[in-house]
Amino acid sequence: MLPKQEVVAMLLAGGQGSRLGVLTKKLAKPAVPFGGKYRIIDFPLSNCVNSGIDTVGVLTQYQPLELNEYIGNGQPWDLDSMNGGVHVLPPYQKNKGSDWYKGTANAIYQNIPFIERYNPDYVVVLSGDHIYKMDYSKMVQFHKDNDAACTIAVYEVPMEEASRFGILNTNPDGSIYEFDEKPKVPKSNQASMGIYVFTWEKLRKYLEDDEKDENSSNDFGKNVLPCMLNSGERMFAYRFEGYWKDVGTIDSLWESNMDLLNPKVELDLNDESFRIFARTPVMPPQYIAAEAKVQNSLIAEGCNVYGDVDFSILSSGVTVEKGAKVLDSIVMPGATIKSGAVVQYAIVAENAVVGNSAVVGERPEKMENLDEWGVAVVGPNYKLGDGEYVAPKAMIGEEV
């Protein structure tokens, strides 16, 4: 028997992330690069470590190759520990057949044996598609103080946007009385962040019951949580304040990256007391050439910049050749922007090449019809030829 862990975190990292198009064709969403040297999963993983949770199960299913390699033994997050640590949990074959993870709840259900090994009191369920810094230990404390069966983190969204979210309606004491999935007329602006704390004993029972229900789609939001509420369990909303962003779409991924350049946004990646850790490639410092012009940007190590970079994020090992312009864009690891090319309001994915004098994206102020405007995307490993053009909102990538 392994030493008991009071809290075990389960990170749902198996989703396809189809709204990210070419970026996630061969890559699980949590492994999508973010902010120059991070990947999305660095945020929940670092949050766990910074919250004192050192037993984390990462549930993978879709295109796990790169994600598995990235997580490795967990050493970059100090999760290569003697007890606990990070464990990648793909679906596996059991003596009564094998199953893919059917839904979020089923993914946890299939890993009950993993969780039981640590005999935890509480299980934190996280998702791998949000950018935020959060001390989960405060939420667990809140959960304990309320003697709750389940606590759901909520974020206050602008009322006019509330109908896009799963909304929680609460009593004055914070207890939840209703779930309102994408309500037409929202009663509150408390959106669920997809972060749950469960009392393990309770969760196990509801997961087992849910599994027996053949009509269930085995999903937390659709099945397990409503079932708990209907059974009269104590469920509370935990209000989170600070930066939080879902990066499930191209636009929100772009915006969230750009938020790092906004001094007014509260997401300090340099805070030594709450670091975001990442597996860092071994590369020399970045070189900014004499003819380069760099402003308002975030640039990672291993970059070589000979052109102009403004309001942009360059990830590790990016090359911007002489005369090239990168404006309001995100360039992911290892990409090359060749001489004379213009990249604006765009995402250039890992190891892509933008050919000489090619143009990617357009500035919104130059558009006659703003509805046709959007962030342009060049997919991973794609080689955009010399002088070629990628229209705003367009996505170009390798055929898979």
Partner 1 sequence: MAGNNVVGVLFAYVHGKRISELTTNRVMASVPFGGRYRLVDFALSNMVNSGINKVGVITERDYQSLMDHLGSGKAWNLSRKREGLFLLPPFGTDNKRSDGKIESLASIKRFLANSHEDYVLLSDCDYVCNIDYKDALKAHEKSGADLTLIYRKGSSPEGIDANIYEVDENGKVTDSIVKNSGNKDVNVGMGMYIIGRRLLMNLVDVCMGRNIVDFDRAVIRKCLDEMKVNGYEFKGTALHITSMTAFFDANMALMDADVRAELFNANRPIYTKLRDDMPAKYGLGSSVTNCLVADGCIIDGEVENCILFRGVKVKKGAVVKNCVLMQDTEVGENATLNYVVADKDVSIDRERALMGYKTYPVYIAKGSKV
What residues line the site for partner 1 (CB under 8 A)?
Answer: 35-37, 75-76, 269-270, 275-278, 280, 282-301, 304, 309, 313-315
CB of 19 to partner 1, least distance (A): 26
> Of 203 and 326, which CB lies nearer to partner 1 in the complex structure?
326
CB of 45 to partner 1, least distance (A): 12
- Integer Cα distance of 61 and 28 in angstroms: 8
The 8-class DSSP code of residue 289 comes to -
- Integer Cα distance of 390 and 275 in angstroms: 37
> Of 166 and 333, which CB lies nearer to partner 1 in the complex structure?
333
**Rg, Å, the chain Cα set:** 22
> Of 82 and 290, which CB lies nearer to partner 1 in the complex structure?
290
CB of 220 to partner 1, least distance (A): 32
Rounded alpha-carbon distances, angstroms, from residue 58 to 4, 73, 89, 385, 391 = 19, 12, 6, 39, 37
In this structure, the dihedral spanned by the alpha carbons of residues 274, 280, 285 and 289, taken in order and rounded to 10 degrees, is -100
Residue 189 near residue 202, CB atoms below 8 Å: no
Which element (helix H / strand E) includes 7? strand 7-12
CA 259 from chain center: how many Å? 15
> Of 112 and 283, which CB lies nearer to partner 1 in the complex structure?
283
> Of 75 and 175, which CB lies nearer to partner 1 in the complex structure?
75
CB of 306 to partner 1, least distance (A): 9
CB of 326 to partner 1, least distance (A): 12
CB of 320 to partner 1, least distance (A): 13
> Of 79 and 314, which CB lies nearer to partner 1 in the complex structure?
314
> Of 311 and 389, which CB lies nearer to partner 1 in the complex structure?
311
CB of 112 to partner 1, least distance (A): 33
| Residue type at 305 in one-letter notation | V
- Integer Cα distance of 272 and 96 in angstroms: 48
In this structure, the dihedral spanned by the alpha carbons of residues 141, 147, 153 and 156, taken in order and rounded to 10 degrees, is -100
CB of 303 to partner 1, least distance (A): 9
In this structure, the strands spanning 336-337 and 319-320 are parallel
Rounded alpha-carbon distances, angstroms, from residue 1 to 4, 73, 89, 92, 333 = 8, 21, 19, 22, 42
> Of 112 and 288, which CB lies nearer to partner 1 in the complex structure?
288
- Integer Cα distance of 124 and 137 in angstroms: 10
